[in-house]
Structure 1
Amino acid sequence: MSVTATEADDDSGTGTQSLVVTPTAISVPEGATATYSVKLSRQPTANVTVTSTAGTGDADLTISAGASLTFTTANWNTAQNVTVAAAQDADTTNGSRTITVASAGLTSVSVTATEADDDGGTPGTHVDNPYAGATGYVNSDWSSKAAAEPGGSAVANISTGVWLDRIAAIAGSSSAKGLAAHLDAALQQDAANGSTPLTIQFVIYNLPNRDCSALASNGELKISENGLNRYKTEYIDPIAAIMGQSKYSQLRIVTIIEIDSLPNLITNTNIAACQEAQQSGAYVQGVQYALNKLHAIPNVYTYIDAAHHGWLGWDTNFGPAAQLFASTVRGTTAGFASVDGFITNTANYSSLTEPYFTINTTVGGQTVRQSRWVDWNFYVDELSYAQAFRQRLISEGFASNIGMLIDTSRNGWGGSARPSGPSTSTNVDTFVNESRVDRRIHAGNWCNQSGAGLGERPRANPATGLDAYVWIKPPGESDGSSSEIPNNEGKGFDRMCDPTYTGNARNGNNLTGALPNAPISGQWFSAQFRQLLANAYPPVN
């Protein structure tokens, strides 16, 4: 079900008080939960109590948290969540129930909760949303490192992505499981689930000239050295052969296709390695080959990387990127059917939502788009960008049921530096800088960001058009080394990972905001994990 909820904000403090509820329709996976948020349209003069009451409908749908919320003169504009649970049952009906959100003297709002039943499918069938009604695979390689950190056991059982970032990662090593070993471990976890399906996530990440604009995540294959053919025969073919084995058919295998690749063809073709990727067609042909091989396996799901709002949010990038994705996918054997959805913010830090201003906020007669931070972008956070980009993709020919994922592993931005409300400044730059929860020096900064925190925990159907919030980047795994470290993984030294570097045009010639003493990308970075845990938002209990 897709319902658009329009927020009528009145942040100026004038006008009629009303309830702001988003979204007004939610899908709740059977045996799991989903949420909607509530806040007020203007500052009250006294505390306001808002209640959510379940009415007629499917009794398996109940309010498990947030049935009564209190808004004060300080937190009135901070959205609070109401959690709806769907009990596990034996029927095959997607029941629904109406929930009334009410407060004395205000017009009530109705929320329709619909159960996403999980009893109708059979193992190996391709469902619309692989995360709905499923549990997530816990990678013990990552989990053991997280649990060994102080307080880390609180998040060590969360599902994270497995990165197949070089050919050798397929077979694995003595210190890291390979693809088949992960899938075998997933089968064991699935067996303990009973009838509940299990989703396991892999990042497909080894194109020739990979990450052509960022040295820290460069790969082992080069276009000029037969890289595209090696990508197909030594990398994608073995992955597809393993994933396609019948013993894994009951698993829901999610693949994240080549992060940063196609977006680089939109913005960075002034860089020689990106220009070569564009002119040779290697990125497009590689992505098409991966989609053809992986989509052919019924229980494999494909999500293409769509960068983030601080990369493609400008109109000069937004439309051309959607068109490039569409033309690339049209060239696959199955066309648009070969793609289940897209993912944004992979391994990045862009805030999920900015609670204290929107792109429509004006300050002193100026739009926030004029601020140095927003810089005329059309989006200020990932959720608004992902939802808008999904609609643009559909207009380019993608199916209306494609789903979006947002990587929330490191975009929480909690801790003492997190603003508690909007700025009172009438200067647009000061207002944005004092109001934004994303505390990066510049939105173009991406490497081991100082002050970041764990974000929303993974869950299915969190918002309209979203299949899930996910942790694709395992928290604690470095983005790149702070100084040059020789290695045999093809990973270079990128100055954007150096905290002393004063930047380039892509980050407005600002300091990088990177943490010091970081190892090469993918290796464990204890100091970063501890900071992410301390600054988690929502906080880790």
Structure 2
Amino acid sequence: MLRPPARGRTAVPRALTLLVACVVALASVPSPASAKSDPRLTRAFYADSASSAAVAAKRDRRFSTLARTPQAYWATDHLPVSKVKKAVRSYAQRAVKKKRTPVVAVYAIPARDCGQHSAGSFDAPTYRRWVSRLAAGLKGTKAIAVLEPDALAMLGQCDAQGDRTGLLRYATAKLKRAGVWVYIDAGHSSWTAPAVMAERLRASGITSARGFSTNVANFRSTADEVAYGNEVVAQLTAQGVRGKKFVVETARNGAATAAGDFCNPVGARVGSKPRMVRQGNLDAYVWVKHPGESDGPCNGGPNAGSWWAAGALALLGR
């Protein structure tokens, strides 16, 4: 039989002690939400059956390896404001159904590629509306987004860029609110000094992003890119931004290529398979640029983005 607490001066302190002990014990038990790991940390990336390589593999089995390899879905100005939400939602839901992580390359910022092979994009007001719809399409899908390849590396290199860092801040915030892990693109190891890139990333809302990406559509070695990524992280930390991660594009960096040749370089090969790595500051290897799609009319290739069978076979070493 339980006894009532003793009366007198010692009863209150004892009750308070028991209460504090209970509160501490409850606080030490993780909530279901905090104990649950984010699926992006362990899931494989999604290999889309609608990719250009998958379509080519239906006609030629030599491309089946590329077809089975996860590659990013490119959301560009080919998807107008009225269609972008439905398009990215359809892609992301295909990934979710397969219990895979959808990866989206967002590529429509004003003055994209400064009028070169991948020129195009929206004006600033349209871009904001477009990003809002894109984020709505990805909401709740646990997606990853590589945000605007080359945009910061090319900052100030041509006219009509407007408030580029402001637009990147806007896009990063919108995507984060939709539950997307954002990696703002940081060019590559031979383009922009780490301290300069860290300043640009900070101005572009890196505090709201998971981190940044390197080597997108380029051919630099993984070792060089990891070293560069770590240097940028160190510079961000020195500037008061801590805990950021990075991903490295490995789609076409499997062999040394001619220095400075970034348009369908002869001798390029596919690199490491895309996957979560989680080693130090490095989150993952990703395939963003699709092997087999041309960089532009150079070294025998067709227009940028066009499927190029000969180029795909060369990347596969065939």
2:8 alignment partner in structure 1: none
Indicate conservation of the 8 Å contact 1:303/1:343, yes or no.
Answer: yes
Tell me the amino acid that sits aligned with residue 446 of structure 1.
Answer: F
Normalising by structure 1, we get a TM-score of 0.49
Tell me the amino acid that sits aligned with residue 348 of structure 1.
Answer: N
1:183 pairs with 2:92? yes
1:476 alignment partner in structure 2: 292
Of 120, 123, 145, the match for 1:219: 120
Of 303, 328, 332, the match for 2:183: 303
CA distance in 1, matches of 2:93, 2:158: 41
- Report the alpha carbon displacement of residue 170 of structure 1 after superposing the two structures with TM: 7.0
Query: Structure 1 residues 151 and 170, CA, compared in 2 at 3 Å: closer, same or farther?
Result: farther
Query: Structure 1 residues 169 and 478, CA, compared in 2 at 3 Å: closer, same or farther?
Result: farther
1:199 alignment partner in structure 2: 101
Indicate conservation of the 8 Å contact 2:136/2:178, yes or no.
Answer: no
- Report the alpha carbon displacement of residue 171 of structure 1 after superposing the two structures with TM: 6.8
**What secondary structure sits across from 2:98 in the alignment?**
helix
Query: Structure 1 residues 450 and 207, CA, compared in 2 at 3 Å: closer, same or farther?
Result: same
- Report the alpha carbon displacement of residue 325 of structure 1 after superposing the two structures with TM: 1.4
2:21 alignment partner in structure 1: none
2:254 alignment partner in structure 1: 412
Indicate conservation of the 8 Å contact 1:351/1:412, yes or no.
Answer: yes
Tell me the amino acid that sits aligned with residue 140 of structure 1.
Answer: S
Of 130, 135, 149, the match for 1:240: 135
CA distance in 1, matches of 2:239, 2:60: 46
**What secondary structure sits across from 1:164 in the alignment?**
strand
Query: Structure 1 residues 297 and 208, CA, compared in 2 at 3 Å: closer, same or farther?
Result: same
Indicate conservation of the 8 Å contact 1:169/1:179, yes or no.
Answer: no
**What secondary structure sits across from 2:312 in the alignment?**
helix
CA distance in 1, matches of 2:253, 2:293: 15
Indicate conservation of the 8 Å contact 1:462/1:469, yes or no.
Answer: no
Two-structure CA RMSD over aligned residues (Å) = 2.4
- Report the alpha carbon displacement of residue 320 of structure 1 after superposing the two structures with TM: 1.8
- Report the alpha carbon displacement of residue 167 of structure 1 after superposing the two structures with TM: 4.8
Tell me the amino acid that sits aligned with residue 257 of structure 2.
Answer: R
Indicate conservation of the 8 Å contact 2:72/2:104, yes or no.
Answer: yes
Query: Structure 1 residues 208 and 467, CA, compared in 2 at 3 Å: closer, same or farther?
Result: same
Of 127, 145, 154, the match for 1:264: 154
- Equivalenced residues, count: 283
More strand by share: 1
2:110 alignment partner in structure 1: 208
Tell me the amino acid that sits aligned with residue 186 of structure 2.
Answer: A
CA distance in 1, matches of 2:184, 2:158: 24
More helix by share: 2
Query: Structure 1 residues 133 and 139, CA, compared in 2 at 3 Å: closer, same or farther?
Result: same
- Report the alpha carbon displacement of residue 394 of structure 1 after superposing the two structures with TM: 2.2
1:459 alignment partner in structure 2: 275
Query: Structure 1 residues 459 and 220, CA, compared in 2 at 3 Å: closer, same or farther?
Result: closer
Query: Structure 1 residues 390 and 149, CA, compared in 2 at 3 Å: closer, same or farther?
Result: farther
CA distance in 2, matches of 1:311, 1:243: 31
Indicate conservation of the 8 Å contact 1:458/1:468, yes or no.
Answer: yes
Q: Where does 1:12-411 land on structure 2 (aligned, <5 Å)?
A: 120-121=35-36, 127=38, 131-142=40-51, 143-147=53-57, 148-168=59-79, 178-190=87-99, 198-212=100-114, 215-221=116-122, 227-233=123-129, 235-244=130-139, 249=140, 251-265=141-155, 269=156, 271-273=157-159, 276-277=160-161, 280-281=162-163, 283-298=164-179, 300-312=180-192, 317-329=193-205, 336=207, 338-353=208-223, 381-400=224-243, 402-411=244-253
Deviation per CA, 1:1-49, whole angstroms, max 9, x where unpaired? xxxxxxxxxxxxxxxxxxxxxxxxxxxxxxxxxxxxxxxxxxxxxxxxx
CA distance in 1, matches of 2:313, 2:278: 27
Q: Where does 1:477-496 land on structure 2 (aligned, <5 Å)?
A: 477-480=293-296, 482=297
CA distance in 2, matches of 1:171, 1:525: 30
Deviation per CA, 1:235-272, whole angstroms, max 9, x where unpaired? 1121122222xxxx2x320011111111212xxx3x44
- Percent sequence identity over aligned pairs: 29
CA distance in 1, matches of 2:228, 2:196: 15
Tell me the amino acid that sits aligned with residue 228 of structure 1.
Answer: A
Query: Structure 1 residues 534 and 183, CA, compared in 2 at 3 Å: closer, same or farther?
Result: same
Normalising by structure 2, we get a TM-score of 0.81
**What secondary structure sits across from 2:154 in the alignment?**
helix
2:23 alignment partner in structure 1: none
Tell me the amino acid that sits aligned with residue 305 of structure 2.
Answer: G
Which has the greater radius of gyration? 2
Unpaired runs of 5+ in structure 2?
A: 1-33
CA distance in 2, matches of 1:170, 1:453: 36
Query: Structure 1 residues 151 and 199, CA, compared in 2 at 3 Å: closer, same or farther?
Result: same
